[in-house]
């Protein structure tokens, strides 16, 4: 009665929240399983950012509800953004749910599950759905436990919750609430613990990381709280690489640009959502920067770190987006030469200002624009990877690749890299000579001070040695 499977939809924040819930449940005596058919309890941690994500989770719940009818002991819950967004109205559609928990109550899940299970043991009727969608002061500090099943070479660290921006397309301020930062000392402690358990790379997570601690923590030596945090993490022994996601172009100040010059562990890869390459559309999105300003940030970052990799989020088919607006996005795409991009078709989110804007764009147009940018991305990404053929890249070995015998890791530029290696190298930085590339992956062999380790390995295996 205590095997739990958590299925996660959506962003890295959600993944991190699920992991923290899993760790809290394990500490409470539950066991975490990774197959829904092995589980007595299934929790869906949901996403609301686009309609498709909500539909997926609703479909899955419907499917699991059938199992619930056959197995009366089975427990089914929905957590996170969709719970927060749709509230108890969800129960009209999904009456079989045992648990509905919002984004500020993840830490309460162990108590609630205990309670549901205890009530099952009594003789009373099946209890009503347990619902908790309240806001809770300090909830940003509850996402700190990690699951240490196996050594986690690369880990997410949640540094804040919520968002105070009001992009007209976005549901996140509703699902995640206002911005709240965790204290620097607590984050650093978490990173130190991770380092002690073998983590070598941390990715700091927040809706808008560069506004971290803006209200709570004073500026020091012209450095924002976020840069102060990065400097502290740079000092943690054992951590070799620092990443973060996502910053906003507004508030991307020189102190953060300089951090890429000054902090050796900060990897030269920036995910900087632009959303559109048209100033007119940016205005309607309530993204308070211009394309010119965005390009200035890119230029400053390239100046600080010449090999910088850029990634972005783009929405195509925002209400009123004309062909000329879209061409402006294409131009920006070429000008920056984005190495990576998440390209989304605009999805109407009820309750947001854009939902009721005139000139909604037909589905086929969104699809065409989406495909056009995806092709562009593939070309640019392949061209960038081609420049890496024959070069030696520093790779952090993360583990076995999903298929085959190769190992996988990432370069500092967040390029996925596959190569022959050994278990004992997991968690180490190695040098890999790149021999072959695709738009998404680099393939190569490790080199050791210029020695081809593959050749050494072959020699070692020859019986005459």
Interaction site with ligand 5AD (CB under 6 A): 49-50, 169-170, 273, 275, 313, 315, 344, 346-347, 349
C-alpha 273: how far from chain center: 13
Q: What are phi and psi of 221, to 5 degrees?
A: 50, 45
Between CA 309 and CA 377 the distance in angstroms is 13
C-alpha 399: how far from chain center: 19
- If the CB atoms of residues 289 and 344 are measured against ligand 5AD, the closer one turns out to be 344
Q: How far is the CB of 246 from ligand 5AD (least distance, A)?
A: 7
Q: How far is the CB of 273 from ligand 5AD (least distance, A)?
A: 4
Q: How far is the CB of 180 from ligand 5AD (least distance, A)?
A: 19
- If the CB atoms of residues 18 and 199 are measured against ligand 5AD, the closer one turns out to be 18
Q: How far is the CB of 79 from ligand 5AD (least distance, A)?
A: 19
Between CA 222 and CA 225 the distance in angstroms is 10
Q: How far is the CB of 318 from ligand 5AD (least distance, A)?
A: 8
Q: Looking at beta carbons, which pairs linking 96-99 to residues 24 or more positions away fall under 8 Å?
A: 96/61, 96/65, 96/68, 96/69, 97/61, 97/129, 98/127, 98/129, 98/130, 99/43, 99/75, 99/129, 99/130, 99/131
Between CA 294 and CA 272 the distance in angstroms is 9
Structure tokens at 74: 């089975």
Q: How far is CA 209 from CA 149, 151, 225, 244, 319, in A?
A: 28, 26, 10, 7, 27
- If the CB atoms of residues 144 and 349 are measured against ligand 5AD, the closer one turns out to be 349
- If the CB atoms of residues 233 and 354 are measured against ligand 5AD, the closer one turns out to be 354
Between CA 450 and CA 433 the distance in angstroms is 9
- If the CB atoms of residues 347 and 381 are measured against ligand 5AD, the closer one turns out to be 347
Q: How far is the CB of 342 from ligand 5AD (least distance, A)?
A: 7
Q: How far is the CB of 115 from ligand 5AD (least distance, A)?
A: 34
Q: How far is the CB of 313 from ligand 5AD (least distance, A)?
A: 3
Q: How far is the CB of 10 from ligand 5AD (least distance, A)?
A: 9
- If the CB atoms of residues 227 and 315 are measured against ligand 5AD, the closer one turns out to be 315
- If the CB atoms of residues 129 and 370 are measured against ligand 5AD, the closer one turns out to be 370
Between CA 62 and CA 37 the distance in angstroms is 16
The contacts of residue 208 (CB under 8 Å, 6+ apart) are 163, 164, 165, 179, 246, 247, 248, 251
Q: Where are the beta strands (DSSP E) in 127-227?
A: 130-132, 154-158, 160-161, 180-181, 201-205
- If the CB atoms of residues 45 and 275 are measured against ligand 5AD, the closer one turns out to be 275
Closest residue to bound ligand 5AD by CB = 313
Grouping H, G, I as helix, E, B as strand and the rest as coil, residue 360 is coil
- If the CB atoms of residues 30 and 346 are measured against ligand 5AD, the closer one turns out to be 346
Query: How many C-beta atoms surround the C-beta of residue 454 within 10 A?
Result: 15
């Amino acid at each position: 009665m205590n095997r739990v499977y958590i299925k996660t939809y959506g962003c890295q924040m959600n993944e991190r929240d699920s992991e923290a819930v899993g760790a809290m449940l394990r500490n409470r005596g539950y066991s975490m399983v990774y197959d829904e058919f092995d589980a007595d309890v299934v929790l869906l941690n949901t996403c609301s950012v686009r309609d498709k994500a909500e539909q997926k989770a609703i479909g899955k719940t419907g499917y699991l509800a059938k199992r619930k009818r056959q197995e009366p002991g089975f427990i089914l819950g929905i957590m996170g953004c969709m719970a927060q967004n749709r509230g108890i109205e969800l129960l009209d559609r999904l009456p079989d749910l045992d648990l509905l928990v919002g984004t500020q109550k993840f830490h309460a899940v162990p108590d609630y599950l205990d309670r549901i299970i205890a009530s099952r043991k009594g003789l009373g009727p099946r209890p009503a759905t347990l619902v908790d969608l309240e806001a809770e002061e300090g909830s940003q500090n509850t996402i700190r436990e990690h699951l240490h099943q196996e050594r986690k070479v690369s880990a997410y660290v949640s540094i804040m919750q919520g968002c105070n921006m009001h992009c007209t397309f976005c549901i996140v301020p509703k699902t995640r609430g206002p911005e709240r930062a965790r204290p620097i000392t607590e984050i650093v402690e978490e990173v130190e613990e991770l380092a002690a358990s073998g983590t070598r790379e941390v990715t700091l997570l927040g809706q808008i990381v560069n506004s971290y601690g803006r209200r709570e923590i004073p500026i020091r030596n012209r450095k924002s709280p976020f840069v102060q945090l990065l400097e502290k993490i740079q000092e943690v022994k054992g951590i070799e690489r620092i990443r973060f996601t996502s910053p906003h172009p507004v508030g991307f100040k020189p102190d953060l640009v300089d951090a890429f010059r000054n902090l050796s562990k900060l990897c030269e890869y920036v995910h900087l959502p632009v959303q559109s390459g048209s100033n007119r559309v940016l205005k309607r999105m309530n993204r308070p920067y211009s394309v010119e300003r965005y390009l200035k940030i890119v230029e400053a970052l390239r100046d600080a770190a010449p090999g910088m990799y850029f990634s972005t989020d783009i929405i195509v088919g925002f209400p009123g987006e004309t062909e000329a607006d879209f061409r402006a996005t294409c131009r920006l795409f070429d000008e920056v030469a984005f190495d990576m991009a998440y390209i989304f078709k605009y999805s109407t989110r009820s309750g947001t200002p854009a939902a009721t804007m005139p000139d909604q764009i037909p589905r086929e147009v969104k699809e065409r624009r989406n495909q056009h940018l995806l092709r562009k991305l593939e070309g640019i990404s392949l061209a960038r990877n081609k420049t890496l053929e024959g070069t030696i890249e520093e790779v952090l070995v993360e583990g076995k690749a999903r298929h085959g015998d190769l190992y996988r890791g990432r370069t500092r530029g967040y390029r996925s890299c596959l190569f022959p290696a050994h278990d004992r190298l997991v968690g180490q930085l190695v040098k890999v000579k790149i021999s072959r590339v695709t738009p998404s992956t680099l393939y190569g062999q490790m080199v050791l001070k210029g020695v081809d380790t593959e050749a050494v390995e072959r020699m070692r295996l020859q019986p005459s040695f």
